[in-house]
Structures are given as C-alpha cells and as structure tokens.
C-alpha cells in the first residue's frame, strides 16, 4: 500500500472538487523557511547558523556537516526536521569553539551562513515555518477552483489538521503498524515488519522480501545493504541476544519513538475523519470537548480546558475570536480525555483498536508516551495564491510547528 491508498481512508472536509496537479516535481517547487523562537538567540555558548539544503534529509545533512567539521553530530542542535525533496532553510546550533570549522564545510547542495551566537537548539524550539509551494500540471482554471475551496474551508473554520504522509512512510506505509505492535508488546512482529516490509522498486527490497519469507537473520546480514544501518544494527543485536525486544531497544530512542508517534498520529487522523463523517463540527465546541488556547494564531497545546453546559457559550465566543480551538486526542497514559459525544468517539476508536491508555505506560520506559491534545483545524496564516502561466499554482503561507503543509495542499488538490 502506498501513501495515496493509505490516505484515501481519511475524509476531506471540503466538498468542492480539487485542482489536481503535482507537488515536489523538483526541489525548488517546495521551499520551507523556518521561523525560530527569539529566545534561540539568547546566550553566547553556541554559534547559530542558517542551513540551506536541497534534496537533503535534515539528519543526514547534520551528520555530514559534523563529519566534515570533525565534531560529533550530537553537538549540533536543530529545532525541526525538514522535507528532503525540497529547498529548506533552518537554524542549527554548534558549540562556539566549532564555529570556524563549520564555516569551512563545503558540501554539494548545502549552504551554511553564520547568523549570531545563542543557545543550543532543541526539537520544537521554533514558532513554525513559512512555505512557498508550486503545484504543477494545472491550468488557469485551477485558480477559481482553489478560491472556491479556500472560501468553503474558511466558512468551516480552516483545513483539517491531519498528520501528513511523511509521518507514516511514503513508500513503506508501516510506521503506525509497527507502533501498534510495540504497544501490544509484540517485539518480534514489530521487528519482522520493520525489517521485512517491502513495496518493490527500492534498493534493499529484495533483501527485505527474503527476510520476510524466511526470517533468516544470517542471510539478512549478508544481503542487507550498508545504508540500512538501523536494520543491520538490530539484526546484529538479535544475533547476539536472541531477543527481539533487546534488538528493538538497541535502536536510538528517536527512531523507536517515531513508531509510537506514527500510531498516535494515525488514531488522531481517524478521529478527525470520523468527526467529519458524522457531521460533527471541527470549529464549534460540543459539550465534553477539550479546547486549546490560541495566541497570535499559535495554539498552546499544554493549555486546555473542558467544555461544559455552563461555559459552552463563552468557549464558542473564544473560538469565534480565534482565541481557542477544538482539539482531538493524541492518545497516551496521561492524556486529558473528552466527554460527551467527542468522548464517545475516542472510546470507540480505542475499542476498535483493542487499546487502553495504560498500554502507552507499559512500553519500555524511554518509549512510554503521556499523550496530549492537538487542534483539529489548520488555519494557515497569510495564505496567498495565484496562477503563474507555464508553471502552475503558487501558494504561500505560514504554519505553526508540527503542522503539515502537505495536509493543506491535500484539501486543495484532492490527489490522495
């Protein structure tokens, strides 16, 4: 199953036909500019660089910069991971004493510019991202169609805040399935899927297929190419310990957490889709909903309150003023649960998945997931768009951190 087929299960909020077309035909069609927190520039211990990259994964770029500068990649901080098939601008921090070494690094499709001194950057240490995206393969009629869709979505409060396909895997849409198996304590099943899932056409797929069919660890170590370093590390650990649990726990924590987060994201997407399917509003609070506070268009997901019979009119007014948004569940052991109709939807999802919130606590300690809430709608700030003859539609907008531009475009294009 590819990501288009996977995403077809999630309902569109707008009913107007999409404009079609294609994004990311070339990296320059998808430009991302990170907007950091001002506090990133407080301090003197770290040198802050603006990293421009083209067709580079963030982690791969950081590791290569570190290697060329002769420092550990763990000494390079960054606030967010960025699309590979794009031209992206993001900030990185390096120890002050490494400034000149990093300035001297020269790599194809990478530019580094010293900005100022500041603090060590950590994931999430940003306000959001500005986007400029070209949709190719459309004619000038796309402008009017886009206008109708945007008008319709504004009347419904915004775009559905689905997690984008990057969360689940573009070619091997398995991250959420692995996460579910880990939650159930099935480390062998999770390992088999992580190592053996294959779609065909990718380097290493033949080796994955052989492992899927035979489970032969020694053969896999002979056949898995060197770039599948996490897979090979897991195989070696299994050979040493004969324990798939220990093999999985030998992976770096950020890699293990990807799978749990992907499963949480899948359930959140299902929640939005069910709410649309049942005709329940995303921009209007129901009794039992949990709403998040919003300031300057930025949602503060750790500031939530419950909607009751007595405060519902007050909350609705807050939502109308753009000071609050209805949220959905990121399931975890200490998540604030909704009541009423929204609570029933949450309960139904958990029951269908044969899941309890305690399952998120039973994970090995580093992977245990407290969960939280996330707003149901995306409200792109400064959204502008137009048709460029001979090119296609050009969209520009700003999104808060953790929100996917591809989910905005999906609603306009209706391509998956």
Of 87, 173, 79, 83, nearest to 119 by C-alpha is 79
CA dihedral for 285, 290, 293, 299, sign (positive or negative): negative
Determine how many CB atoms are found less than 10 A away from the CB of residue 279.
6
The upper half-sphere exposure of residue 85, i.e. CA atoms within 13 Å in the direction of its Cβ, equals: 10
Strand partners, 52: 89, 111
Distance between CA atoms of residues 300 and 314, nearest Å: 19
Residue 83 among the catalytic residues: yes
CA dihedral for 40, 163, 169, 18, sign (positive or negative): negative
Determine how many CB atoms are found less than 10 A away from the CB of residue 39.
10
The catalytic residue among 83, 289, 359, 415 is 83
Determine how many CB atoms are found less than 10 A away from the CB of residue 344.
12
Count H helices and E strands in the chain, helices first: 14, 14
Distance between CA atoms of residues 410 and 21, nearest Å: 10
Contacts of 154 (CB under 8 A, 6+ apart): none
Helix (H) or strand (E) holding 200: none
Distance between CA atoms of residues 117 and 93, nearest Å: 9
Q: What are phi and psi of 84, to 5 degrees?
A: -80, -50
Determine how many CB atoms are found less than 10 A away from the CB of residue 390.
4
Distance between CA atoms of residues 332 and 71, nearest Å: 37
The burial class, CB within 10 Å (0-12 / 13-18 / 19+), for 13 is: buried
Of 48, 371, 50, nearest to 179 by C-alpha is 371
Q: What is the 8-class DSSP label of residue 2? A: -
- The residues carrying an active-site annotation are 83
């Amino acid at each position: 199953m590819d990501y288009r087929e996977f995403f077809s299960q999630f309902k569109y909020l707008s009913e107007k036909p999409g404009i079609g077309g294609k994004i990311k035909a070339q990296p320059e069609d998808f430009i991302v500019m990170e907007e950091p927190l001002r506090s990133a520039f407080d301090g003197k211990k770290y040198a802050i660089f603006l990293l421009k990259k083209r067709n580079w994964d963030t982690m791969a770029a950081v590791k290569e910069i570190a290697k060329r500068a002769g420092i550990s990649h763990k000494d390079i901080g960054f606030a967010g991971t960025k699309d590979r098939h794009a031209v992206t601008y993001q900030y990185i921090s390096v120890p002050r004493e490494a400034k000149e070494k990093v300035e001297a690094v020269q790599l194809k499709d990478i530019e580094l510019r010293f900005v100022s001194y500041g603090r060590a950057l950590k994931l999430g240490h940003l306000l959001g991202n500005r986007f400029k995206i070209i949709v190719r393969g459309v004619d000038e009629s796309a402008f009017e169609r886009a206008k109708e869709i945007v008008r319709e979505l504004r009347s419904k409060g915004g775009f559905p805040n689905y997690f984008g396909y990057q969360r689940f895997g573009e070619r091997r849409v398995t991250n959420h399935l692995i996460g579910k198996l880990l939650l159930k304590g099935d480390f062998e099943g999770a390992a088999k899927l992580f190592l053996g899932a294959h779609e065909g056409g990718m380097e290493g797929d033949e080796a994955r297929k052989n492992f899927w069919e035979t489970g032969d660890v020694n053969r896999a170590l002979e056949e898995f190419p060197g770039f599948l370093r996490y897979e090979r590390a897991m195989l070696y650990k299994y050979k040493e310990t004969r324990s798939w649990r220990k093999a999985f726990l030998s992976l770096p924590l950020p890699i293990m957490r990807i799978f749990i987060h992907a499963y949480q994201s899948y359930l959140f997407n299902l929640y939005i889709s069910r709410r649309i399917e049942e005709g329940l509003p995303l921009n209007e609070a129901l009794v039992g909903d949990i709403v998040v506070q919003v300031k300057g268009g930025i949602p503060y997901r750790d500031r939530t309150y419950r909607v009751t019979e007595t405060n519902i009119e007050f909350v609705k007014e807050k939502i109308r003023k753009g000071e609050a948004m209805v949220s959905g569940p990121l399931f975890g052991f200490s998540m604030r649960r909704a009541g009423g109709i929204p609570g029933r939807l949450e309960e139904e999802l958990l029951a269908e998945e044969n899941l309890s919130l305690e399952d998120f606590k039973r994970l090995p300690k580093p992977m245990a997931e407290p969960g939280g809430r996330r707003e149901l709608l995306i409200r792109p700030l400064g959204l502008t768009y137009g048709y460029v003859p001979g090119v296609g539609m050009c969209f520009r907008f700003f999104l808060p951190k953790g929100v996917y531009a591809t989910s905005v475009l999906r609603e306009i294009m209706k391509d998956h």
